[in-house]
Structure 1
Amino acid sequence: MELLESAALTSLVDHLLEQNNIPGLCIAVVHNDDVSSKGCGVANYENGVPCTGDTLFDIASCSKSLTAATVALLVGDKKYAKIQYTALMSDLLPDDFVMSDPTYTHGITVEDVLSHRTGMASHDSSYMGIKARNPDTPKSITRNLRNLQPAAPLRSRYLYCNQMYTVATHLIEETTQQSFADVLQERIFTPLSMNSTTLQPATAQAKGWSDRMASGYIWEKENNTWRSLPPQTYPEAQGAGSVMSSGNDFIKWVKALLYHEGPITDKVYHGLTTMRSIVNPQGRRLRAHTTPAIYAAGMEIYYYRGVQVIGHDGREPGFASRFVFMPALRFGAVVLGNSAGAANAATVIIRALMDEILGVAVGERPSYTKKTSEKKGKDLTINTKVQQPTNRPEKKQKAAKEDFGLPQTTPLEAYVGDYWNPGYRNMTVQTKDGHLFVDATDRSMGFTLVFHHVKGQTQYTATLTDEVELTDEPVHAEFVFKDGKAIKMGLDLEPAIKGLIWFEKAGST
Structure 2
Amino acid sequence: MDLISSPNFENHIRVVLNALHTPGVAIAILQDGKMESKGFGLAAIDPPKPVTPDTLFDIASSSKSLTAASVALLVADNEKYPQVQWDAKMSTILPDDFVMSKDDYTNDITVEDILCHRTGLPSHQDSILGIRAEHPDSVGSITRNLRNLQVAAPIRSKFMYSNMMFNVATHLVEKLSGQTFEEFLHQNFFKPLDMSSTNLQPDAAIGAGLKDRMAIPHVWVDEQLKAVPWEQMPDGQGAGSIITSVTDYLKYVQALMNQEHPFTEEILKAVTTPRIISNPEDDIDELSPFTSHTLYALGWEVVYYRGHKAVQHGGQISGSGGGVFFVPELNFAGVILGNSDIASTVAEVVFMEMLDVLIGTPVKERTDWIALSQKRTQKYKDEQMKGDALKKKIWPEFDGKTEPQKLPLETYAGEYCNVGYHGMTVDIKDEQLFVDASDRADGFTLRFEHVCKQTLYVATLRERLGDVDGDAFELEAEFRFANDREVKMGVKLEDDLEDMIWFDRVI
TM-score of the pair, normalised by structure 1: 0.93
Letter in 2 for 1:454: V
Tell me the alpha carbon deviations over residues 350-401 of structure 1, each in whole angstroms, 9 at most, x when there is no partner: 01111122122323323457586285499xxxx9xxx9989x9996346385
- Deviating more after overlay: 86-95 vs 261-270: 261-270
The 1:238–1:327 alpha-carbon spacing in structure 2 relative to 1, beyond 3 Å, is same
- Could you say which residue in structure 2 is the equivalent of 1:153? 154
Give, in angstroms, the shift of residue 92 of structure 1. Answer: 0.5
Counterpart CA distance in 1 for 2:182 and 2:370 is 41
Q: Residue 97 of structure 2: SS of its match in structure 1?
A: coil
Any idea what SS the aligned residue of 2:475 has?
A: strand
Secondary structure at the aligned position of 1:14 is classed as helix
Choose the corresponding residue for 1:412, options 409, 412, 436. Answer: 409
SS in 1 for 2:4: helix
RMSD: 2.2
Once structures 1 and 2 are overlaid, which stretch shifts more, 107-116 or 247-256? Answer: 247-256
Looking at structure 1, the residues matched to 375 and 341 of structure 2 have their Cα atoms a distance apart, in angstroms, of: 7
Q: 3-state DSSP class of the match of 1:399?
A: coil
Deviations 1:272-293 (A, max 9, x none): 0121011112344211111011
Unaligned 5+ runs, structure 1: none
Is the 1:302–1:309 Cα contact (8 Å) retained in structure 2? yes
> SS where residue 467 of structure 1 aligns?
strand
1:281 & 1:39 partners in 2: Cα distance?
Answer: 36
| 8 Å CA contact retained: 1:218, 1:229 | yes
Q: 1:457: how far off?
A: 0.7
1:466 corresponds to = 463
How far apart are 1:412 and its partner, in Å? 1.4
The count of corresponding residues between Structure 1 and Structure 2 is 497
When residues 348 and 101 of structure 1 are mapped into structure 2, their CA distance, relative to the original with a 3 A threshold, is same
1:427 matched to 2:428? The reply is no
Return the alpha-carbon distance in structure 1 between the equivalents of residues 478 and 377 of structure 2. Answer: 33
Q: Equivalents in 2 of 1:389, 1:71: separation in Å?
A: 42
- Distance across 2 between alignment mates of 1:415 and 1:69: 48
1:449 aligns with 2:446: yes
> How far apart are the structure 1 equivalents of 2:373 and 2:313?
21
Moved more, 284-293 or 87-96: 284-293
Question: Whole-Å Cα distance in 2 between the matches of residues 488 and 288 of structure 1?
Answer: 48
In the alignment, which residue of structure 1 is the partner of 2:500? 500
C-alpha separation in 2, matches of 1:334 and 1:401: 50
Bigger shift: residues 292-301 or 226-235: 226-235
Structure 1 counterpart of 2:236: 237
2: distance between equivalents of 1:133 and 1:369? 43
Q: Does the 8 A contact of 2:395 with 2:452 survive in 1?
A: no
Tell me which residue corresponds to 2:476.
Answer: 476
Contact between 1:278 and 1:292, CA under 8 Å: does it hold in 2? yes
Q: Counterparts of 1:269 and 1:388 in 2: how far apart (Å)?
A: 42
SS of the equivalent of 1:373 reads: helix
- Equivalent residue, structure 2, for 1:311: 312
Deviations 1:76-125 (A, max 9, x none): 01211111110100001100100000110001000000010001010010
Does the 8 A contact of 1:344 with 1:374 survive in 2?
no
User: Partners in 1 of 2:471 and 2:277 — Cα distance?
Assistant: 31
Opposite residue 182 of structure 2, the aligned amino acid is A
Paired position in structure 2 for 1:70 = 70
Counterpart of 2:252 in structure 1 is: 253
For 1:360, the equivalent position in structure 2 comes to 361
2:180 alignment partner in structure 1:
179
Superposed displacement of residue 498, structure 1: 0.3
CA 232–374 in structure 1, closer or farther in 2 if over 3 Å, else same: farther
What's the counterpart of residue 45 of structure 1?
45
Matched residue, 1:122: 123
- Within 2, Cα distance between the matches of 1:414 and 1:290? 54
Residues 393 and 212 of structure 1: is their aligned pair in 2 closer, same or farther, counting only changes over 3 Å? closer
Structure 2 residue aligned with 1:396: 393
CA contact under 8 A between 1:403 and 1:454: conserved in structure 2? no
2:85 touches 2:111 (CA, 8 Å); kept in 1? yes
The alpha carbon displacement at 1:404 in A equals 5.2
Q: CA deviation at 1:472?
A: 1.1
Letter matched to residue 35 of structure 2:
V
What SS does structure 1 have at the residue aligned with 2:374? Answer: coil
Would the aligned equivalents of 1:283 and 1:291 in 2 still touch at CA under 8 Å? no
Residues 1:79 and 2:80 are matched in the alignment: yes
CA contact (8 A) 2:395 2:451 kept: no
- Name the counterpart of 2:296: 295
Rounded Cα–Cα distance in structure 2 between residues aligned with 1:145 and 1:139: 10
* CA–CA separation in structure 1 for the residues paired with 2:198 and 2:268: 21
Q: Measure the CA separation in 2 of the matches of 1:400 and 1:137.
A: 46
Give distance in 1, aligned partners of 2:485 and 2:339: 47
Query: After superposition, what is the alpha-carbon deviation per residue over 1:278-335, rounded to whole angstroms, capped at 9, x for unaligned?
Result: 1112344211111011100000111111011001000000112111100111001111
SS in 2 for 1:29: strand
Other structure's SS at 1:69 match:
helix
Task: Give the residue type in structure 1 aligned to 2:314.
Answer: D
- In the alignment, which residue of structure 2 is the partner of 1:440? 437
CA, structure 1 residues 333+377, in 2 after alignment: closer, same or farther (shift >3 Å)? farther
Unaligned runs of 5+ in 2: none
* Aligned-partner Cα distance in 2 for 1:443–1:401: 33
Worse overlay, 280-289 or 97-106: 280-289
> What SS does the aligned partner of 2:396 have?
helix
What is the alpha-carbon distance in structure 1 between the residues aligned to residue 342 and residue 482 of structure 2? 48
Amino acid at match of 2:239: A
Aligned to 2:24: 24
The 1-side partners of 2:415 and 2:35 are apart by 56
Q: Percent identity?
A: 44
Match of 1:3 in 2: 3
Residues 23 and 45, structure 1, Cα contact 8 Å, conserved in 2: yes
TM-score where L is the length of structure 2 = 0.94
Partner of 1:329: 330
Preserved CA contact (<8 Å) 2:216 2:229: yes
Is the 8 Å Cα contact of residues 122 and 162 (structure 1) preserved in structure 2? yes
**Using a 3 Å threshold, how does the CA distance of structure 1 residues 377 and 3 change in structure 2: closer, same or farther?**
farther
SS at match of 2:266: helix
Residues 392-440 of structure 1: per-residue CA shift (max 9 Å, x gap): 9996346385465321111112111111101001011111111111111
Deviates more, 1:366-375 or 1:67-76: 366-375
- Which amino acid is 2:475 matched to? V
2:3 counterpart SS class: helix
Where does residue 209 of structure 1 map in the other structure? 210
Q: Say if 1:430 and 1:388 are closer, same or farther in 2 by CA, change over 3 A.
A: farther
CA distance in 1, matches of 2:398, 2:188: 55
The offset of 1:505, in angstroms, is 0.7
3-state SS in 2 of match to 1:239: coil
Q: 1:404 to 1:166 in 2, by over 3 A?
A: farther
Asked if 1 retains the 8 angstrom alpha-carbon contact of 2:415 and 2:426, the reply is: yes
Answer yes or no: is the 8 Å Cα contact 1:292–1:302 preserved in 2: yes
Tell me, yes or no, if the aligned pair for 2:352 and 2:369 is still in contact at 8 Å. no
Counterpart Cα distance in 2 of 1:265 and 1:9: 35
Equivalent residue letter for 2:148: N
Secondary structure at 1:80 match in 2:
coil
Structure-1 residue corresponding to 2:274 = 275
Matches within 5 A, 1:93-104: 93-104=94-105
User: In 1, distance between residues paired with 2:300 and 2:385?
Assistant: 25
